Amino acid sequence: MDSGLARIVSLWAVPLALCASVGMASAGECPGNPHALGTSRTIVVDPREHIRIGTMDYAETLPLAEGEVVLTFDDGPIPPYTGKVLDILAAECVKATYFIVGQMAREYPALVRRAYNDGHTIGTHSMTHPFRFRALSVERGNAQIDDGIAATAAALGDPDKVAPFFRFPGFGHTGAAHEHAAERGLMVWGADIPADDWHKLGPHEVARRAVQRLEYKGKGILLLHDIHQRTVDALPLILEELKARGFRVVHVVPASAERPATLTTADAWRPYARPKPAAPVIMLASLQGLDADMLTKKSDAELCSLTPPQQTASRTRSRDHTRVARTADAEAQHQWGAGAAKPAQAKTQPAKVANAEVTAWGRDIHAVQ
C-alpha cells in the first residue's frame, strides 16, 4: 500500500478503533438499573509504550476524549468500605482501577478477588504504603514494589490477574524506583484530578471538589480511596453528577497477546502539552527613525534587541483590566458550589484553568494520603 494512503487509513482508523473498543456495560444494559451511568468503553493500553501517566506528575496521561473519566481507588481493600464501594459501582455498572496495598491484600484476599471478579482492573500500590517512599533506600523501595505485586498475586491466586499498573504511595517516586518499575514492565500511574477524600471533609465537599476539578480539566484520571466512609458517601453523589453533566466512564485494561492495544495517536497522550512559544515579531513600521542602511549593518543579536515604542497608557490599562477580569473569573469559578449544597444545586460550566496551575495545586494537596 502507498505510504501516504496507509497513513490516511491509519488516521481514519483511530476513531473507529475507539468506537470498537466498547465498554462492558452501557447504561441501557445495566441489569436492574436502566438509568445507570454505565461504562462507556474500554481502552487497552501497552505499558511498554507509555510508562508514566497522569498530569499531576507526568507529561502524558490516558488518551481520553473530552468528557471521559477513569475512576481509580487507592489503599484498600478494607472492610466494610471496599465492599460498599464495590456495591455502588456494581449498581451503576461502572468499572474502575484499583491500586492494592500488599499488606491489605494479605489481610483481606477475598475483597481483592471480589474486585477482580466484578470486572475491575487490579493494579498495585506498594507493600505497606510508606508515607516517605522517597526516603527509602533503593533496595527497600524496589522491595516495596515487588512485594506488593507478589502479595496481590497471591490473593488472586494467579499473577496474570494483576495488571502491570503501579501507583507510588503519595506519588513519592524516585528515579531508581522509576527505573525498577520500567524494568518490570509496569505502567506508573499518577492522576489528573484529586478528590481530597483523604482529608477530613464531608462527603458533599469531596463530591464537589471531584466534579469541579473534572470540569476544569474536561477529562482525566480521578483519584479516590476505598478506605473511608466519606468516600462511600460521596461516590453516589459523584456518579450522579457525572451522569447529569454528560461525563462518561472509561475502563482501562492492559494489552496482552490476545488483546492488542487500542489504536491511538501520540498527541492523544499529551492533551495538555504547551505549544512552543512563537518567535518575536518586530514590525518595521513600528520602529521610529527607521534607517535601511542602519538595519543592514546590524547583527542578528542587535536586530532581535529592537523593540517598538512603549504602549500608550490607555492600552496598558486595558491589558491590565483584562488580566484582572480573567483572574477574578478564575477565582469565582474556584468558589463554585461553596457551602453545603450538593453539586447538582450549583450546576455551571466553569472555564478551563491552565494545566500548570492544576498540576501544582494537585501535587501540593497530595503530599500526604
Output the domain CATH number for residue 118: 3.20.20.370
320 shares a domain with 225: no
- Whether residue 274 is contained in a domain is answered as no
246 shares a domain with 217: yes
**Where a domain ends, among 212, 237, 269?**
269
**Where a domain ends, among 269, 302, 336?**
269
- Whether residue 279 is contained in a domain is answered as no
198 shares a domain with 342: no
- Higher confidence at residue 63 or residue 355? 63
Average pLDDT for residues 200-215, to the nearest whole number? 96
299 shares a domain with 172: no
- Whether residue 27 is contained in a domain is answered as yes
Using CA atoms, how far apart are residues 189 and 61, in angstroms rounded to an integer? 9
pLDDT, averaged across the chain: 78
Q: Structural domain of residue 156, as residue ranges? A: 3-269
Least confident among 34-38, 259-263, 363-367: 363-367
CB-based contacts of 286, cutoff 8 Å, min separation 6 = 308, 309
Residue 305 — φ and ψ, nearest 5°?
A: -85, -10
Using CA atoms, how far apart are residues 108 and 112, in angstroms rounded to an integer? 7
Using CA atoms, how far apart are residues 64 and 55, in angstroms rounded to an integer? 13
CB-based contacts of 179, cutoff 8 Å, min separation 6 = none
320 shares a domain with 256: no
- Whether residue 360 is contained in a domain is answered as no
Contact 130, 368 (CB under 8 A): no
pTM of the predicted model over 0.75: no
Does residue 353 surpass a pLDDT of 90? no
What pLDDT was estimated at residue 9?
33
- Whether residue 365 is contained in a domain is answered as no
312 shares a domain with 191: no
Least confident among 8-17, 24-33, 49-58, 156-165: 8-17
- Whether residue 363 is contained in a domain is answered as no
Using CA atoms, how far apart are residues 164 and 142, in angstroms rounded to an integer? 15
132 shares a domain with 47: yes
329 shares a domain with 190: no
Residue with C-alpha cell 496551575? Answer: 357
27 shares a domain with 105: yes
- Give how many domains the chain has, as a whole number: 2
Question: HEC string of 263-327?
Answer: CCCHHHHCCCCCCCCCCCCCCHHHCCCCCHHHHHCCCHHHHHCCCCCCCCHHHHHHHHHHHHHHH
Average pLDDT for residues 100-127, to the nearest whole number? 98
Does residue 92 surpass a pLDDT of 90? yes
- Higher confidence at residue 322 or residue 223? 223
Using CA atoms, how far apart are residues 159 and 146, in angstroms rounded to an integer? 12
What is the DSSP secondary structure assignment for residue 162, as one 8-state letter? S
28 shares a domain with 89: yes
Using CA atoms, how far apart are residues 73 and 91, in angstroms rounded to an integer? 17
Using CA atoms, how far apart are residues 187 and 133, in angstroms rounded to an integer? 18
201 shares a domain with 144: yes
What pLDDT was estimated at residue 304?
57
SS3 140: helix
**Where a domain ends, among 269, 296, 325?**
269
- Whether residue 99 is contained in a domain is answered as yes
Amino acid residing at 39: T
Question: HEC string of 222-247?
Answer: EEEECCCHHHHHHHHHHHHHHHHCCC
Average pLDDT for residues 71-76, to the nearest whole number? 97
Give first-to-last CA distance, the chain, whole Å. Answer: 53
Contact 144, 172 (CB under 8 A): no
- Whether residue 361 is contained in a domain is answered as no
309 shares a domain with 166: no
Average pLDDT for residues 157-167, to the nearest whole number? 97
